[in-house]
Structure 1
């Protein structure tokens, strides 16, 4: 039986990392689902949120961009970024389109599906929540900050992450995890892309409940900044497992061997880097490595 038609796979994360994974899963079409972090408060997305409210659209737009297979006027519009010195400088038209559709639609998910249909994207894209929320962090020094951009700039080691306010997960995202044959976490900024969806009890419970699904963690290729740069791979895996009620990660996929973790995790080493950008995962290599584990 063909893997692409028989196997349901869910990938969780944000921005560039999740976009690369979804591009590698493109052959799965509607059997692949991306659950996207919606807590970003920087750049164009942050400016839109501060004046319009709503969820963060930047990571969603990034994932959809990486799944566009047919260049068109629509895709050029969606990717267009304004330049100049006025209010629009730095804004991405895709973010503005999603915001406008959100304001016109009953649900953010309807806005996403309208854009997916327009751009002929088969892979399912779901926001982790359809309600606005921000990431908060508490450091070992007792420092508390709100917002992804502030979390990245913290000087102390992190004690805990939370979402404020507490919001419900998108029910379609919860169901996708329960129905999945495989679940993928990462790559991406660990604290601000990978962790936020795991802070939603419904999503964490679904991962813990679906014990038959294979749970994969994909490592980053380049070092991180901020508090995440001071976390070891072991700490990151433990944070994920603790969030998911001690659910064991089945496979850790990366470019570097980790003999020190071999007694607790199955670490699989494969060449994954793009030949011209060593910090970025190559779609074809990532596809081969992921499909090898799913089989």
Structure 2
């Protein structure tokens, strides 16, 4: 029996960061679960939401793309992006496939599972919620903005982040957190990938209640821009802990030393991809996770 069959790991986030982390957890198979942010309102995803409604599919599609192990016609279709001058320009076929399957399915999770089976992806992918919701932020000068793209572009610093409307968390996601031996936050865009799932009270409560799980925050390797870029790492950790009902983050994993974070256990590790130092290396992430699980 290996650690891959005896331990359960949950990673929370969205976009490229979560996809990278899940690719590092590939050997855990069905013992790994990604809880995926569904609040994106930009690009192809935003256009589909505007005309079709539903949850945002872009982050889930990104995760699936990074987990496809066998290139095939199916995987090429899923990653295909239309080009040209018409309405399809810029649309990703994977987003359209997930939207169509969602319309044909009882639940959005059914659509994800159909795609996972088709593309032979073992890791569980669970949307944070199966109900559409948007990010809403209050700036320190008292202005509310709605939508991920608007939050990213805010010029004033944030004092509050909410979901609008409030929606229930997916019960499979909550259940995965309750059973996890490790819960990983990040890497990824802090305000628009990592925070949205934590804003769901059931997810924050499940993390707080699972005392046996190691709660790990993985830092980005390159700086963020916009309001997240103006936040210190300490502020980000405090925001996460507040959302998780004051549950302490057990490990902060990153490439830098943090003498200023005396009250957190900071573990320094080389996590960068050899050819692109702004991107996490899958094998190095995997090694770091295994080391933390076996300590």
- TM-score w.r.t. the length of structure 1 is 0.99
Per-residue deviation, residues 212-250 of structure 1 (Å, max 9, x unmatched): 100000000000010000000000000000000100000
Once the 2 structures are TM-superposed, how far is the Cα of residue 107 of structure 1 from its aligned partner?
0.3
Per-residue deviation, residues 228-284 of structure 1 (Å, max 9, x unmatched): 0000000000000000010000000000110111x2111001111111111110111
- In structure 1, the partner of 2:259 is 259
Q: How does 1:50-65 map to 2 (within 5 A)?
A: 50-65=50-65
Alignment partners' CA distance in 2, 1:148 and 1:45: 12
Q: How does 1:156-195 map to 2 (within 5 A)?
A: 156-195=156-195
Once the 2 structures are TM-superposed, how far is the Cα of residue 184 of structure 1 from its aligned partner?
0.2
Once the 2 structures are TM-superposed, how far is the Cα of residue 199 of structure 1 from its aligned partner?
0.2
- In structure 1, the partner of 2:119 is 119
Per-residue deviation, residues 134-179 of structure 1 (Å, max 9, x unmatched): 0000011011100000000001110000000000000000000001
Runs of 4+ in 1 over 6 A off after TM superposition: none
- In structure 1, the partner of 2:279 is 280
Alignment partners' CA distance in 2, 1:37 and 1:292: 27
- In structure 2, the partner of 1:25 is 25
Task: Look up the SS of the partner of 2:11 in the other structure.
Answer: strand
Alignment partners' CA distance in 2, 1:204 and 1:210: 10
- Aligned pair count reads 294
Q: How does 1:12-161 map to 2 (within 5 A)?
A: 12-161=12-161
Alignment partners' CA distance in 2, 1:69 and 1:174: 27
- In structure 1, the partner of 2:292 is 293
Task: Look up the SS of the partner of 1:11 in the other structure.
Answer: strand
Alignment partners' CA distance in 1, 2:144 and 2:232: 22
Task: Look up the SS of the partner of 1:202 in the other structure.
Answer: helix
Alignment partners' CA distance in 1, 2:279 and 2:8: 25
Once the 2 structures are TM-superposed, how far is the Cα of residue 50 of structure 1 from its aligned partner?
0.1
- TM-score w.r.t. the length of structure 2 is 0.99
Alignment partners' CA distance in 2, 1:241 and 1:121: 31
5+ residue gaps in structure 1?
Answer: none
Alignment partners' CA distance in 2, 1:272 and 1:7: 22
- In structure 2, the partner of 1:238 is 238
Alignment partners' CA distance in 2, 1:178 and 1:271: 30
- In structure 1, the partner of 2:210 is 210
Matched, 1:227 2:214: no
Per-residue deviation, residues 58-109 of structure 1 (Å, max 9, x unmatched): 0000001000000000000000000001000000000000000000000000
Once the 2 structures are TM-superposed, how far is the Cα of residue 42 of structure 1 from its aligned partner?
0.3
Task: Look up the SS of the partner of 1:122 in the other structure.
Answer: coil
- In structure 2, the partner of 1:248 is 248
For the aligned residue pairs, the C-alpha RMSD in angstroms reads: 0.5
